[in-house]
Amino acid sequence: MVTWEELEARCRQCQNCPLSETRTNVVFGVGNRQADILFIGEGPGEQEDLQGEPFVGPAGKLLDLMLSLIDLDRSKVYIANIVKCRPPQNRDPLPAESEACMPWLREQFRLLRPKIVVCLGRIAAQRMIRPDFSVTKEHGTFIEKNGILFMGTFHPAALLRQPQNKPEAFGDFVALRDKIGEVCVHTY
């Protein structure tokens, strides 16, 4: 089986879709490679593209805050995106781009073997949980697939635009903390 180091090195060379032509950096993922919890966002924004790390811009600051509210940080979870290269003008990734990038996330999944997967926003939730998943209606519920618990919640960038949803998003993180207590032995 491929190692994390091999996978990351190969991913950094990827030219599977046209996003590779406009990227500054591949944003592979960050965090604890032994974590039980995987967060999946949509794709890198401007700051992530420049720094090569997921969620380091304004949305990332909010994600860090929400993690800290339930005593988590980047050393206890792993954070990745559906697409590893920034879509121009931060547009949604095209289905073909997400498809082209999925083999990297699949390998990350195989290596990490997460117990809980948190999908940040519609793009990740619809790709990972169900194509018609509604974040507004179904956020915070845990859905088991092949022994792994998936939960969709608001994307932190959406929360910056619609702060009225922050209490509900915080509720989802509290539910996450409780679920971690139930199914993860090493996180807290």
Residues near ligand URA, by CB under 6 A: 27, 41-45, 48, 54-55, 59-60, 81, 157
Task: Decide whether 42 or 97 has the Cβ nearer to ligand URA.
Answer: 42
The distance of closest approach from Cβ of residue 182 to ligand URA in the complex, given in angstroms and rounded to an integer, is 27
Residue, CB closest to ligand URA: 41
Task: Decide whether 42 or 107 has the Cβ nearer to ligand URA.
Answer: 42
The distance of closest approach from Cβ of residue 152 to ligand URA in the complex, given in angstroms and rounded to an integer, is 13
d(CA 87, CA 104): 17
The distance of closest approach from Cβ of residue 177 to ligand URA in the complex, given in angstroms and rounded to an integer, is 22
Task: Name the pairing type of β-strands 116-120 and 148-153.
Answer: parallel
Task: Decide whether 47 or 141 has the Cβ nearer to ligand URA.
Answer: 47
The distance of closest approach from Cβ of residue 30 to ligand URA in the complex, given in angstroms and rounded to an integer, is 9
Instruction: Copy the structure tokens of residue 182.
Output: 């139930």
Instruction: Copy the structure tokens of residue 50.
Output: 């420049």
Contact 104, 132 (CB under 8 A): no
d(CA 52, CA 69): 25
Helices (H) and strands (E) in the chain — how many of each? 9, 6
Task: Decide whether 59 or 105 has the Cβ nearer to ligand URA.
Answer: 59
Q: What distances in angstroms separate CA 127 from CA 99, 113, 116, one per listed residue? A: 9, 18, 16
Instruction: Copy the structure tokens of residue 150.
Output: 């998936």
